[in-house]
Each structure stands twice: as C-alpha cells, then as structure tokens.
Chain A
Amino acid sequence: MGLPVYIISRIMNYLLVIFVAVTLCFVIPRVTGSSPIETVINRLTAYGEYYDPITLQGIIESLKELYGLKGSLWEQYITFLKRLFTLDLGPSLTEFPTPVSVLINRSLPWTIGLLSITTLISWLFAIFIGGIAGYFEESKIAKFLTGFSIVVHNIPYYILGLCFILLFSYLIPLFPAGGGYSVGTELTFSIRSILDVLYHAILPALSLIIVSYGGGFIIMRGLSITTKNEEYTKFAEIMHLNKNTILYKYIIRNSLLPQVTGLAISLGNIFTGSLALEVVFSYPGLGSLLYRALITSDYNLIMGITIYSIFAITTSLLILDFIYPFIDPRIRYR
C-alpha cells in the first residue's frame, strides 16, 4: 500500500466519522423529545410576563425558523447540513444577535493554546524522563518518580486544579484563583499583557501537564523496560556503544510510536477533561463558554460547541495519523 492510498483512505474515514457524528447531533435532540422551543417559551413566561396567543404563535414560528425545525424531517436534515457547510450555526440565545460561531471563535484560541502547549510539554517530559527512568529502572529516583506518577496520573485534571487553587491561591497566595487575565485590563500585544496571560495560565497549565505527564511516564517507562530487554539493545550493549546512543537511538526512538497511538486514543478524554478544568479555573476558553451555555440552556450554543469540538478532536486525530509515518522507523510509504 502506497502513501497516496493511505492518505486517501484516512481522509475518507475522517469525513465519514464527521458525517456520522453530525448526523447523531441532528438525530439526538429529535429522539430525546425535548424541544428547545418549549425551553425558551418557558423561560420567557417564567418571569411572569404575559404573551397573548397570537404573539406567542409568532414567537414559536420564528423560533422554528431559527432552529431549522420547519418542514419534514428530511428537509430539516438538509437545512441542518447546509448550515453546517456554511458554518452558520445560528445566533446565540442569551447574547441574542451575536452568532454562535463568533462566540466560539472568541474562546477557541484560549482552549487550543492552553491544550496544545501543555500536551506538547507533558509529552516531551514524559518521553525523556520516562525513557531514562525505564533504562535506569533500579535507581531510587526512578522508583520515586514511578510512585509519584502512579498516584498522579489517575486524578482528573480539575481535581488537581482544585487542590492547586486551595494550595497556591488561598493558603499561599502566589497565583490568581481564576480568570484568563487581570480583571479590568485590555488584551493587547504588549509584553505586559502577554506576561499577565501566562501568569494566569500557570495553575491550569500545571494541572494539565502533571496529570498527562504521569500517564505518559508510566507507559513510556514500561515500553523502555521492554525495549531494554530486546535482543538488539543487548547487542548494542555488548558492542559497547555509547550509553547515550543506546538510550536515545535504541530505546526512546523505538518507544515513540506507541506513545503517539496512546495520545490519539486519549485525545477525546484530554479535551473534555480540560473543558471541565476551565470551569474550575473560570478560564475564558470553550469550557467556560459551554458552562454558561448549559446554565442558560442556550441550545444553539451547546450544539455549536459540540460540533466544533467533534470537528477539533477528529481533525487532531487525522493530523496525528499523518505524523505517524514520519515517526515510525519501520513503516516506509513509497
């Protein structure tokens, strides 16, 4: 199988997954039988305001238009797909005329920035420290690191985040307890502003890095120990190759691949975990936006965030798959 075939089949699969996921997003609200229109009407009348039936009918009609609930199921589905294709997800209900996509685009950079940087850092740390710890399996430091990782890697991000807030914001007030930048300041491209953003990102980033580092470390250590006992590594040792060469060229290089696969498998969990972490830190990313949408039952916004997230996760998986052949020393696509 050549490289073009691999790329094409992978892209086909990617499109198919997105299509099925989007169709599920269309089907689910209709199966659960909950109507977003009812929610909106309930909220309108909950404040004690009175609407005469004709006005109410008008509101319902315009809401149906808005949510794409007009016509038969098939027509609704076509409008739904058409709207997605043009990235028109409708207006947000709580901030009425603002389109959902504008709100999401405003908070998406925060999430992607935080997530990609922390994933990269924790990944590199896990690979090198895990690889070395596996090679020097018996040393005290390696054993301590292993114990630490075992305890840490199962903790959900937001739980560790809570512990950090408790420790470093209230008991020892070093870092801010939440937010993405200081209240009352404008975000500009000045050094001061960037430092402020980084300062606010330290605690959430640290929670993400430590937990993902722990998970990566454990897998990497195991792989490293297995590779250490392989024949070719033994042979390299007999040849009296440099220890560094053995460690980097033999052990870490060959353990990289399962790490990429592991990252791909856990990506969805990492993403939603980080959304919850944002809620705990009230970090201005997609998670906080989702939280706000959920408490105000902003149906359009929830749907928009779901579809964006599905799109983001599957696309990252696709990218990871394309990186795959470059990392694997054994696979050559010609």
Chain B
Amino acid sequence: MKDNIKYIKAFMKYIWRDKSFFIGLIMLTVFMMLAFVVSFLSPYDPRRWNTAPRERPPSWEYPLGTTTLGQNLFWLLTWALRNSLIIGFSGSLIGLIIGSILGFIAGHKGGIIDRIISNIADIFIAIPILMLIILIGSLIKTQLNITTLGVLFGVLTWSMPVRNVRSMILSLREQEFTYTDIFSGLNLLEIVYRHYLPFVIPWISMAAINRIFWAIGTEVTLAIFGLSAIDEATLGTMLYWALKYQALLRGLYWWVLTPTITLVLLFLSLYLISVGLNTYLNPKARLQRMIGGK
C-alpha cells in the first residue's frame, strides 16, 4: 500500500514535468467530462429531430450551431463523444484481453500449443481486418449499434497482442522467480498475477491506447461508408449526416467542423498521452530519471 502511494506520487511528479503529457491528459479529461458528465445534463434526447431551430450558426444559445435536422450540435457532440469513447474502450479492451490471454498461454506452455496459437495469430495479423469488417457491416447493417461495433472491433483484432505478450512471457518464463513459483506449486493464474502481469502491464497500457485510436478511427471510416450505427450519435455518424446533407456545399461549416475538430483534438490528446506514457515506462528513460532525478 505504501509502495503504491509512492509510485503514484512519482508518477504525478513526472506528469507535471512532461508538459505535452500534461496537456494531453487535460484535453482527454475535458473530453471525458463532456462525454460522461455533461452529456447527462442534456435537457432532451439530442438525436431527436426538430428539437432546435434548423441550420443556425454558432451563437450563445447554440454554442456549436444546429443541423438541418434541427439538432443542437453541442448536446449531440456530448452524446457522440460518449458513444465513440465507449466503442473505443470496448473495441480496444476486448481484443486486448483475448489476445493477451492467448499470449500468456502460448508463452507459458510452449511446445505444440505455442506453435498452434502463434501460427494462427500470424495468419490473422496478415489478413486485412478492415475489409472483413466492411463485409460484415454490410451484412448486418440493421443490427449495428454501439455494442455490436465494439464487440466486432474487439473480436476481430484479437491476433495483434498475441505475438508481443508471448515473446515477453517467453523470456519471463526462464527467470528464476518463475521457476520458484512453479516448484512451489502455484498454478498459471497465480503466476500470471504475481509475476507476469507487473512486467507486461506497461506494454498492455500502451497497446490499449493505440487500439482506442484505431477503434474510434475505424468507426468513423465505417460511418463514411454508411456502415455505422446510423441512428445513434457517434463522431462518425455526425460526419455521415453532415456529408449526406451536403453541409459543405451549402456553407453549413459548423456542422462538418464540429466532429472534424473534435476528432483531431481527441486523437492529438491520445497521442500525447501515449508518447508520454512510453517515455515514462521506457526502462532507459526510467534509469535516467532515477540517476538524474534526485
């Protein structure tokens, strides 16, 4: 417990020093607040049409303007952020958990099980997943919603983490503490929890952020093709409706720019965080901090 507090304190200190990490974290916090707190304050369901006057440019009453369908873009954005982040998180974590578990098993058991798992994973890595997602999306167009999208992204990208986790476990398995664990009769779960996880968690957290990126971006790509949960509010579907109603051609810039700028800023904040985390977790940089940071 005491150790944990020490680590958290050191981490906070580090964040404070690394300015771009700090900026990224603040930006993400703002987005999270908009998505998971502010969105619940909406006085009405912002997806509904004609809840606001049509095609108003940004003003005090409608901070981001309104759409041709009579939706208030500000409330719509908060809902869209929430759904997009949910897709991002679930799409990221589901695949990461499946892949990591398989990686743990392959690396720890070795032998024929290892060969089967890693060969299958290798084949799946080389398959262009996005094209398959488009194919599936076209077949289950009507059943697409936030949950199915998240699960789809998660399940189809299971193969990505297998290799990395496996190779980490392979080297950890030969360590002395693992042998001690095995000889004292611990089962796989206990070994994983006690000695593998602490070494693998840094990589997993990096991968999680990169996958959130990918999932949110993929949802928008699908939405451009009209393959997202069209009736829900997500960043992708906001863009989809704006393009569908020719918002650019008709000079309704705010309609296109709202999801566009939000996406760019969201990606930027995630990127800054991932770079900051990377340097923080990188053993070389850590060593330098320990030597020079006193």
Contacts and interface: CB of A to CB of B under 8 A. Distances in A.
Decide whether A and B are members of one complex.
Answer: yes
Contact of A162 (B213, B256, B267): B256
The A interface is mostly helix, strand or loop, or mixed, namely helix
Interface string B240-254: 000100001101010
Contacts of B272: 150
B135 A25 contact: yes
B264 A155 contact: yes
B221 interface: yes
A151 B24 CA distance: 12
A156 B221 contact: yes
Interface of B is mostly: helix
Given A29-B139, A166-B256, A279-B225, A17 B123 contact: yes
Nearest to A152: B264
Interface string B213-243: 1100100110011110000000000010001
Interface stretch (A49-57, A195-203, A253-261, A302-310): A302-310
A134 B267 CA distance: 24
Question: Chain B interface residue count: which class?
Answer: 35 or more
Interface string A163-181: 1011000100000010000
Interface stretch (A124-132, A242-250, A267-275): A267-275
Nearest to B126: A17
A76 interface: no
Nearest to A318: B126
B126 A317 contact: yes
Interface string A5-19: 000000001001100
Contacts of A290: 134, 225
B290 interface: no
Given A32-B136, A32-B140, A294-B138, A272 B220 contact: no
Contact of B243 (A13, A20, A273, A280): A280
B128 A309 contact: yes
A159 interface: yes
A166 B253 contact: yes
Contacts of B251: 170
Interface in B80-134: 122-124, 126-132, 134
Given A25-B135, A156-B263, A306-B135, A294 B225 contact: yes
A62 interface: no
Contact of B264 (A20, A154, A158): A154
Contacts of B264: 151, 154-155, 159
Contacts of B205: none
Contacts of A28: 132, 135-136, 139
B225 A165 contact: no
A314 interface: yes
Contacts of B135: 25, 28-29, 302-303, 306
A34 B139 contact: yes
Contacts of B257: 166
A313 B128 contact: yes
A225 interface: no
Nearest to B264: A155
B136 A20 contact: no
Given A32-B139, A170-B251, A295-B226, A314 B126 contact: yes
Given A159-B260, A279-B224, A20 B127 contact: yes
Interface of B: 122-124, 126-132, 134-136, 138-141, 213-214, 217, 220-221, 224-227, 239, 243, 248-249, 251, 253, 256-257, 260, 263-264, 267-268, 270-272
12 contacts: A17-B123, A34-B140, A154-B213, A154-B268, A154-B271, A166-B253, A272-B131, A275-B225, A291-B226, A306-B132, A306-B135, A314-B126
Q: Which 10 residue pairs spanning A and B have beta carbons closest together?
A: A154-B267, A272-B130, A268-B128, A17-B126, A276-B224, A313-B128, A32-B139, A34-B139, A21-B127, A306-B135
